[in-house]
Chains A and B, each alone.
Chain A
Amino acid sequence: MKCGNGIEARQVDELFINIDPIQAGGRLTADAMKAVIAYGDGYSVCDNCRKPNRLDYISKPPIAEFHKDVAKWLNMDAVRTVPGARRGFQAVAHTYVKKGDPVLLTTLSHYTEFLAVEESGGIAREIMANEQKLVTPDATAEKIEAVKREFGRAPVLAFIDHVDYQYGNMHDVAGIAKVCRQYDVPILYNGAYTVGTLPVDGKAFGVDFVVGSGHKSMASPAPSGILATTAEREKEVFRTTQIVGDVTNRKFGIKEPEMMGCTLMGVTLVGMMASFPHVKERVKHFDRELANHQIVMDALLSIEGTKCLSEYPRKHTMTRIDTIGSFDTVAETHKKRGYYLQSALEEKGITGVIPGATKVWKFNTYGMTTKQAEHLGRSFVAIARENGIAVKG
């Protein structure tokens, strides 16, 4: 079945349980799929764009209302939609980081945070995660002090991931933010794995910016995301254009340079908007997601030699697992080598594990039904037994 020249219709999530760690929270809701069908044309949300001609002022479809609702939902004062969390990092870094400025990241930070700092000429300084792969307030204070000794001043900005992409561990953002505030370091909360799956209260965390990813955690098409900020920082990061053409004397109204004018002008934005009521509701039920995740964890950890590399008990549905002592022992002699695990999973209707991975890999159960979680857990155990790996109980 093709949907264009050489483009196969994608049916991954219709045919399989998809445990890809980065895809789970971005799967569209039915309403988002419907909105995507109706708003696929390029400038589809711009039919009723009126003065002052900016995306977040459009009232039909209710884009202006959506912006206000998202800000309120995150307990922040202003929001803009951005083409992915990385563009939120970029806007903030470009506003606050100048050449040679030290910027605080962590040893678990996403690469796009580094790139945002690099693009602005900043110098990355990482807070070391501890043995449990957790970034702590104490380690933050130590690193800020080290930066002060090295640069003679505190970092100009800190990027902290609430749940990191490597382990899916949950870090003490409120504690870290408290330390940053003591040193007057503005703090960006990276909620790529939380905004849209877990309740997020920016003011309670004490952060200056909240960045979320639409396609990672808000059931939205890619690339989409949000950048939220406080009333104080709004004037800085969402400052309006001042430039004037010397020949034409043109000015550009209230367009915002960091946003490059309007941001999400079609299917990405309406997809986000259509999913939003469902997203607001689903964050209240993360306990159900963790219960489903536990079903799978129990099954995996019943397989001899399997270790959970993420913090345990789990606080998030994305987990890093070590199967060097279990599934990988089979890969050495199996005719399909390391590909046997992926192949066996696919035979059981499961996809999303990196082909060939049998040592250390990640998976995410977000959005699964309990029945699907049970099937996934049973499948791991069955594959272990079929390949002679001992299973407890």
Chain B
Amino acid sequence: MTFQAIYTLTDLRVLLRETAPAHEFDAKQKEQAQRLLENLERQVGSLKQEMLK
């Protein structure tokens, strides 16, 4: 799960590179960012459950 979360952050990092310097997202990029951030929240939630039980 740690890799999944890091990899999701990596995809977000690449999105930042593709949109530098203004980071103005078009509709597709906004959708992608939203999906990645939701995945990240889910992955961090799972990590909390597993590591803090």
Contacts and interface: CB of A to CB of B under 8 A. Distances in A.
Interface of A: 13-17, 27, 29-30, 33-34, 37-38, 348-350, 369, 371-372, 375
9 contacts: A13-B17, A14-B13, A33-B10, A33-B13, A33-B14, A34-B7, A37-B6, A38-B3, A350-B21
Contacts of B40: none
Contacts of B31: none
B25 to A, nearest CB: 11
B37 to A, nearest CB: 16
A349 B22 contact: yes
Dominant SS at the B interface? helix
A15 B21 CA distance: 5
Given A30-B11, A33-B13, A33-B14, A16 B21 contact: yes
Interface residues of B, number: 14
A215 B30 CA distance: 31
Contact of B10 (A27, A30, A371, A375): A30
Contacts, number: 41
Nearest to B22: A349
Interface in B1-53: 3, 6-7, 10-11, 13-14, 16-22
Contacts of A34: 3, 6-7, 10
Given A37-B3, A37-B6, A372 B11 contact: no
B1 to A, nearest CB: 14
A29 B6 CA distance: 15
Contacts of B22: 349, 375
Given A37-B3, A38-B3, A349 B21 contact: yes
A57 B21 CA distance: 43
A37 B9 CA distance: 12
